[in-house]
Chain A
Amino acid sequence: MSKVVVIPCSGMGKVYGLIAREAALKVVRELKKNEAETKCLAYLVTGDEEIKNYMQGKKCITIDGCPKMCAAKNAKEAGAEVIEELKSIEFAKEKRAMKPGTATNLNEEGWEVVDYIADKIVEIIDNLEVK
């Protein structure tokens, strides 16, 4: 199975963008190094043929920080098969972590939400492998 592409929104204006970014990095750099990878969302936005060709049909998990769902929309636009559209704010609510830091830095609550989302992504990837 080819690697699952995890794409966070990384939104510049909100803490939930930073949480999404850090969760994706934790998965691709630590927890699922061999099974998952990430690609720059900014690069997807350029619409370059190289990245569009790469993304065609790739299984993809997106993590968005706001209701505009930029990561999910851009991944689909690039031709990926988005298998899960996660929202970092929903995870923060579940953890009752409503002051997770700022768009620049996360506090302890913020890092807990990062771990929580990363674990959820690992679970999704594990389920894919079982199937």
Chain B
Amino acid sequence: MKETKIGIVSCSGEECLGGTISRLATRKVLEKLRMGETVTICLPLFIAGGEEERLFAKVFPTIAVDGCSKLCAMRATEKYSGKVNAVVNVAEILGEEKALSELVSLKEMPQDYEEIVDKVANEICKKIDKIISDILTKEAMEELESQGKSGGGCCCGNC
């Protein structure tokens, strides 16, 4: 596979627990679960930054991680850079009510927060695996196609 990194653009919503969980789950994926395979830029850079930041989602396959159903990460990425490959909505995993609850500082995390972060981080990893699998399949198909055109034979090697 050509070297491909997956871009993760996360909400870090200040107003609800969903934002805090988005942030922590994204950090866990970047630092531990998919280190080296993933990159991120700060969401607000789409407006404040220059072309380089806006090119981000055009260059990398991108996953938006959102804390609530406003889906700001997805919408902002698509507004400035193009369609995201996948969305993880924390509110769908946690339930809307809990995601919108006001517990937000790291000092105030609920006791079961690590479990919640793991759940969301695993969901992000599933999306990453799917994107990589799709890329590999596409590359394999292109390879087969190019072999077929140049050699005129089928994949068995005998034709």
Contact = CB atoms under 8 A, between A and B. Distances in A.
Interface string B17-33: 00100011011100100
Interface string B28-60: 100100000000111111111100000000000
B49 A43 contact: no
A46 B76 contact: yes
Interface residues of B, number: 34
B31 A104 contact: yes
B15 A39 contact: yes
B144 to A, nearest CB: 39
Contact of B44 (A21, A24, A71, A104): A71
A113 B39 CA distance: 27
B110 to A, nearest CB: 15
Given A10-B23, A12-B23, A73-B47, A42 B105 contact: no
Contacts of A104: 24, 27-28, 31
B72 A43 contact: yes
B10 A12 contact: yes
A36 to B, nearest CB: 12
Nearest to A77: B47
B75 interface: yes
A3 B106 CA distance: 24
B13 A40 contact: yes
A22 B109 CA distance: 13
Give 9 nearest A-B pairs by CB, closest first: A70-B44, A70-B48, A42-B72, A10-B12, A73-B48, A104-B27, A45-B76, A40-B13, A42-B11
